[in-house]
């Protein structure tokens, strides 16, 4: 795989969705594979219902600033479609890969009608349009079927590994998930990972057909 | 595949804490504040294993005094805080610089974490100026591995010169993570003892000032030779970027993006005060212009200009924040350095294709509605503010509301009710209310409410309350007691039953404390919304003296962590909900767990977000929100 160096990945979402865990898990696998990885995170006030994202700079040369320059994202992952699109508008370019959960989390101003949350179909269409490769997966739905919305991040992780957009193998990521999650929740999390991966496989097959 | 399973990411703050451990720190104290909190948190975890004393202090001044006492007694100590906290500690620190920490071979490092861009702060103050004001040697790392080396050096410098050393971090260092090589913490046996004479008296202040300046001039000589100040790049570059802190990696990024490696050199500075004038002037002789890249203020920039002027290099052009090539506010980013370099080298750099930008502008931007901050589902603050709003409206006298620092500042974000009229510093709500409560003779007729959280109350509101009681002011002080320093990550405080190290601790009793200084104290549960509204109305009517209302309910995130249950299964009765005709829950209560069904306009519960607190069941005028005990 011929990667740009540095390779820049963004994992976005809404405070509390678990974007930091995704960033750290893939960061660990990449570091095991010999990459220098720096991660930037959002803490504090923004975690309270705000838009949050983790950034990963992946390189064989040196440690990079955790801040990704505008328009220089290579892979953009989102736990919420509006946030995926927000990150694409800032870091996207004609070669970017995007992967997003399909489930909206409404901003507080959209709850009482001060703002209108766009029709999710419009969001998916926009993501498809501005990303070279795009994958919209039902990560929250998968997680809810398995007993808890919080596992959406693991479903997205399974999907991400399956896109092959990053220099890592799905098995390596699954092993890291198994090591990281509490033993009592291991089976559900690995199942979420697997179903996330299947969702991407189905998308790729539909497109190929 | 590599089988190394021990790889883990280290947060900048964790690296700082580990470096302190590697230096053999014995005593660590601080007050939580983003982005500094994880330093003390990490040390607290290791306290027992390494025989340290680690505490969350009531405020930053007390934390600094405790750490200084340890250092004066021959121990190694660390005190950590955010930039705003430094102002609280400053009175003590300026005096400590004059006495020094003595010659018992102790050491004291002051770690201050600034928040450029004010991501999680009311200000983006650049604490580096304080190093000059308070005569503190200053170190500022450019990346995580340098932070570690520099923290260890800070302890040695402090021990050698017998003075407190300031170590400046910032959001993009404290909250970045990378992988660092593990190292063994030092186990140096030290015994504490004091026999120093350290009294500052009138006149002596001048004598001590002279000695302090002498000490700083010796440290300057060290900094002139310091390996933390170093040049890399071409022998005769067209430009040298002088950078420090967050500017270092951003400068490297920008040079690489623009392909300027053969034309631009980098002078990275980490040992900043006293400023290494000669080293900087000698390095800059190689070039005709310098761009200073730092955050937030032009601290290095003014020192560079000063150094060049002293060296007679007045023709050398210096660009940066002061010249406007980088705006004078906000954090430093690779983008901003790219922009400054593009303008100085007259380069036309486009980060992405023009057509792509066009599509983003035309088709994407209109979809991007803002995502305002809001209290978590189940947060007791939402219910408290809802009740205060109702009570003030019913009272009808346009009450004035002073706020404070904590999760309740979200009142002035989209999820809140925008009720607060004033919001400044820790404990300032009570001080401002005390002043407003004295204005009756000037025609002031509004009732005054001040509000703060439990941790903030202990930090700085108590003197203001005592002042108000003694001087006969009149207002209602609301204390939102959620049993946590919630915004910064649930650290303990004097009202908690455990301390930072997890040991059982004496809880300072809020009610007794407030009554003992002469306040009338009432306690209520914010989830009893109707009862709370009534209580607040009555307290507002009293209109005399300082009344304290404690609204007590554990932070939902803390509750969820320990109980791991959702208390109630919430449903909306679609036959009773009036939808858009009413909208009380959606437009006034505004919990993210309640959403509007776009087809019917009625409210619905989002099971993936609802915490099952049950509070919203009380606010529906048509009793359409039902709560049912969750048995699962």
pLDDT of residue A41: 87
Residue range B572-629, pLDDT digits in tens: 999 999 999 998 999 899 998 998 888 898 999 988 889 999 999 999 999 999 999 9
- Whether residue B179 has pLDDT greater than 70: yes
pLDDT of residue B618: 95
Q: What is the pLDDT of residue A62?
A: 93
Averaged pLDDT, B203-224: 96
Contact: B608, A140; criterion CB under 8 Å: yes
Q: Which value does ipTM take for this structure?
A: 0.95
Residue B2 pLDDT: 41
Q: Whole domain around residue B303: which residue ranges?
A: 228-345
Confidence of residue B412 (pLDDT cuts 50, 70, 90): very high
Instruction: Please indicate, yes or no, whether residues B294 and B212 belong to a single structural domain of this protein.
Output: no
Domain shared by B116 and B208, yes or no: yes
Predicted pLDDT at B4: 46
The whole-number pLDDT of residue B370 equals 93
pLDDT of B15 > 70? The answer is yes
Question: Is residue B279 situated within a structural domain?
Answer: yes
pLDDT at B6: 60
- Residues B16 and B63 reside in one and the same domain: yes
Do B332 and B385 belong together in one domain?
no
Decide if B360 is inside a domain: no
Side-chain half-sphere CA neighbours of B621 within 13 A: 8
pLDDT at B447 over 90: yes
B317 touches chain A (CB under 8 A): no
* Contacting residues of A for B172, CB less than 8 Å apart: 40, 65-67
> Is the predicted pLDDT of residue B1 greater than 60, yes or no?
no
Contact B587 A126 (CB under 8 A): no
DSSP string, B472-540: T--EEEEEEE-SSBTTTT-B--TTSSB-TTS-B-PPP-HHHHHHHTT-EEEEE-TTSHHHHHHHHHHHH
A36, A40, A43 ranked by CB distance to B120: nearest: A43
CA–CA gap between residue A43 and residue B177 (Å, rounded): 13
Contact: A69, B338; criterion CB under 8 Å: yes
Domain range holding A63?
7-208
Positive or negative, the CA dihedral B290, B292, B298, B304 is: negative
* A31, A111, A118 member nearest B586 (Cβ): A111
Asked if residue A87 is part of any domain, the answer here is yes
Is there a domain that residue B351 lies in?
no
Q: Output the pLDDT for position B196.
A: 79
Tokens of B146: 């340098």
- Is a pLDDT exceeding 90 seen at residue A144? yes
User: Per-residue pLDDT for A8 more than 90?
Assistant: yes
Inter-chain touch B178–A38, beta carbons under 8 Å: yes
Chain centre to alpha carbon of residue B147: 19
Domain for residue A150, yes or no? yes
Parallel, antiparallel, or unpaired for β B176-178 and B10-11? antiparallel
- The reply to whether B372 falls in a domain is no
Closest residue of B to A114, CA-based? Answer: B587
Domain count across chain B: 4
Q: Is residue A141 included in any domain, yes or no? A: yes
CATH number at residue B90: 3.40.50.970
Give the mean model confidence (pLDDT) for residues B531-551.
Answer: 96
Apex CA B177: angle with CA B30 and CA B325, to 5°? 90
Note whether residue B89 is domain-resident. Answer: yes
Give the CATH number of the domain where residue A89 resides.
Answer: 3.40.920.10
Residue B389, number of CB atoms within 10 A of its CB = 19
Query: pLDDT band for position A45 (50/70/90)?
Result: low
B322 and B403 in one domain? Answer: no
Nearest-neighbour CA in chain A from B53: distance (Å)? 26
Whole-number pLDDT of residue B572:
96
Report the pLDDT value the prediction gives residue B608, as an integer from 0 to 100. 81
Number of domains observed in the structure of chain A: 1
Q: Are residues B135 and B94 in the same domain?
A: yes
Do B315 and B183 fall into the same domain?
A: no
- pLDDT above 90: residue A2: no
Convert the pLDDT of each residue in B307-337 to its tens digit. 999 999 999 999 999 999 999 999 999 999 9
| Residues A68, B333: Cα–Cα separation, whole Å | 8
Radius of gyration of chain A from its Cα atoms, rounded to whole angstroms:
16
One domain, residues B528 and B391: yes
Is A154 domain-assigned? Answer: yes
The answer on B537 and B402 residing in a single domain is yes
A99-113, A131-145, B38-52, range with the lowest pLDDT: A99-113
The mean pLDDT value of chain B amounts to 95
Out of A48, A94, A112, whose CB is closest to B587? A112
Is B253 within 8 Å of A65 (Cβ atoms)? yes
The pLDDT, as a whole number, for residue A108 is: 87
Across the strands, what pairs with B481? B552
CATH number at residue B256: 3.40.50.920
Shortest CA distance from A64: residue in chain B: B249
* Chain B environment of A142 (Cβ under 8 Å): none
Contact B177 A43 (CB under 8 A): no
Does A88 contact B609 at a Cβ distance shorter than 8 Å? no
> How many other C-beta atoms lie within 10 A of the C-beta of residue B495?
20
pLDDT mean over A100-121: 90
CB contact under 8 A, B372 and A49: yes
- Counted residue by residue, chain A has a size of 209
Q: Which of A185-194, B181-190, B243-252 has the lowest mean pLDDT?
A: B181-190
Residue B268 has pLDDT above 50, yes or no: yes
Residue A2 falls inside a structural domain: no
Same domain, B433 and B527: yes
- Provide the 3-class DSSP secondary structure of residue B234: coil
pLDDT computed for residue B632 by the predictor: 55
What is the average pLDDT across B346-370?
A: 96
B71: pLDDT strictly greater than 90 = yes
pLDDT greater than 70 at residue B3: no
Contacts of B369 in chain A (CB under 8 A): 82, 107, 109-110, 115-118
Q: How many CB atoms lie within 10 A of CB B201?
A: 8
Q: For residues B622 and B527, state if they share a domain.
A: no
Inter-chain contact A105–B590, Cβ cutoff 8 Å?
no
Same domain, B30 and B162: yes
* pLDDT score, position A109: 87
Dump pLDDT digits (tens) for B548-577.
Answer: 999 999 999 999 888 988 999 999 999 999
Is residue A16, in this structure, part of any structural domain at all? yes
The residue to which tokens 């607040």 are assigned: B536
Contact B178 A113 (CB under 8 A): no
Lowest mean pLDDT among A11-20, A130-139, B162-171, B323-332: A11-20
pLDDT of residue A1: 61
pTM of the full structure: 0.95
Residue scoring higher pLDDT (A17 or B128): B128
Instruction: Outline where DSSP puts E strands in B252-364.
Output: 264-268, 271-273, 289-293, 317-319
What integer pLDDT is reported at residue A113 of this predicted model?
A: 74
Q: How far is CA B468 from CA A12, B460, B473, B474, B477, in A?
A: 47, 14, 5, 7, 11
């Amino acid at each position: 795989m011929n990667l740009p160096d540095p390779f820049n990945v963004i994992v976005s979402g809404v405070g509390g969705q678990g974007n930091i865990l995704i960033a750290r898990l893939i960061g660990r696998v990449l570091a095991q594979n010999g990459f220098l990885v720096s991660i930037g995170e959002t803490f504090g006030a923004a975690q309270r219902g705000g838009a949050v994202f983790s950034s990963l700079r992946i390189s064989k040369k040196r440690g990079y600033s955790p801040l990704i320059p505008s328009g220089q994202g290579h892979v953009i992952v989102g736990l919420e479609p509006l946030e995926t699109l927000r990150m694409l508008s800032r870091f996207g370019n004609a070669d970017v890969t995007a992967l997003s959960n399909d489930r909206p989390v409404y901003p507080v101003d959209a709850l009482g009608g001060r703002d209108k949350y766009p029709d999710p179909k419009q969001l998916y269409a926009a993501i498809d349009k501005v990303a070279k490769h795009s994958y919209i997966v039902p990560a929250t739905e998968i997680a809810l079927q398995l007993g808890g919305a919080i596992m959406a991040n693991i479903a997205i992780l399974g999907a991400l590994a399956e896109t092959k957009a990053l220099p890592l193998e799905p098995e390596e990521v699954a092993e890291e998930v198994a090591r990281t999650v509490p033993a009592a929740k291991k089976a559900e999390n690995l199942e979420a990972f697997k179903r996330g991966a299947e969702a991407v496989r189905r998308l790729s097959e539909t497109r190929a057909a | 595949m590599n089988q190394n399973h021990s790889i883990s990411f280290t947060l900048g703050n964790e690296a700082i804490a580990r470096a302190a451990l590697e230096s053999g720190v014995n005593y660590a104290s601080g007050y939580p504040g983003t982005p500094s909190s994880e330093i003390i948190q990490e040390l607290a975890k290791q306290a027992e294993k390494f025989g340290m004393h680690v505490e969350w202090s009531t405020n930053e001044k007390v934390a600094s005094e405790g750490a200084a006492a340890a250092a004066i007694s021959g121990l190694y100590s660390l005190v950590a805080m955010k930039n705003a906290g430094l102002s609280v500690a400053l009175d003590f620190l300026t005096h400590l610089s004059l006495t020094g920490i003595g010659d018992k071979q102790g050491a004291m490092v002051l770690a201050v974490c600034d928040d450029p861009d004010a991501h999680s702060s009311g200000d983006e103050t650049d604490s580096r100026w304080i190093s000059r004001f308070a005569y503190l040697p200053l170190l500022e790392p450019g990346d995580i591995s340098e932070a570690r080396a520099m923290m260890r050096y800070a302890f040695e410098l402090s021990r050698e010169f017998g003075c407190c050393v300031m170590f400046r971090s910032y959001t993009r260092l404290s909250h970045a993570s990378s992988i660092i090589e593990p190292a063994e913490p030092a186990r140096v046996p030290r015994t504490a003892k004091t026999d120093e004479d350290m009294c500052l008296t009138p006149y002596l202040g001048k004598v001590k000032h002279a000695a302090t300046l002498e000490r700083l001039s010796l440290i300057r000589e060290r900094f002139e030779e310091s390996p933390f100040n170093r040049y890399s790049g071409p022998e005769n570059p067209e430009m040298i970027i002088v950078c420090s802190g967050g500017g270092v990696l951003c400068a490297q990024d920008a040079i690489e993006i623009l392909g300027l490696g053969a034309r631009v050199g980098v002078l990275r500075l980490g040992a900043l005060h006293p400023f290494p004038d000669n080293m900087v002037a000698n390095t800059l002789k190689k070039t005709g212009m310098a761009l200073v890249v730092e955050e937030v203020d032009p601290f290095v920039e003014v020192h560079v200009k000063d150094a060049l002027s002293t060296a007679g290099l007045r023709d050398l052009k210096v660009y940066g924040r002061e010249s406007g090539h980088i705006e004078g506010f906000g954090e430093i980013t690779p983008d901003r350095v790219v922009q400054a370099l593009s303008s100085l080298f007259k380069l036309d750099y486009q980060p992405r294709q023009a057509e792509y930008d066009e599509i983003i502008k035309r088709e994407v931007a209109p979809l991007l509605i803002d995502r305002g901050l809001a209290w978590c589902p189940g947060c007791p603050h939402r219910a408290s503010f809802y009740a205060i709003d109702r009570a003030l409206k019913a009272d009808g006298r346009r009450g004035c509301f002073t706020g404070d620092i904590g999760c309740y500042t979200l009142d002035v974000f989209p999820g809140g009710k925008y009720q607060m009229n004033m919001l400044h510093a820790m404990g300032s709500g009570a001080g401002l209310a005390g002043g407003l409560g004295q204005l009756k003779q000037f025609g002031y007729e509004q009732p005054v409410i001040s509000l703060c959280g439990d941790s903030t109350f202990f930090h700085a509101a108590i003197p203001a309350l005592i002042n108000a009681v003694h001087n006969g002011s009149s207002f209602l002080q609301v204390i939102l007691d959620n049993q946590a320093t919630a915004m910064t990550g649930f650290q303990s405080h004097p009202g908690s039953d455990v301390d930072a190290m997890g040991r059982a601790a004496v809880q300072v009793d809020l009610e007794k404390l407030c009554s003992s200084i002469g306040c009338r104290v009432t306690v209520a549960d914010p989830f009893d919304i109707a009862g709370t509204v009534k209580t607040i109305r009555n307290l507002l009517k009293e209109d005399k003296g300082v009344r304290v209302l404690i609204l007590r309910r554990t932070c939902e995130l803390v509750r969820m962590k320990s109980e791991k249950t959702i208390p109630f299964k919430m449903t909306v009765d679609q036959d009773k909900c009036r939808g858009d005709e009413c909208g009380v829950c959606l437009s006034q209560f505004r919990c993210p767990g309640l959403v509007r069904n776009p087809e019917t306009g009625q409210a619905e519960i989002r099971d993936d977000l609802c915490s099952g607190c049950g509070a919203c069941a009380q606010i529906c005028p048509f009793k359409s929100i039902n709560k049912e005990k969750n048995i699962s």
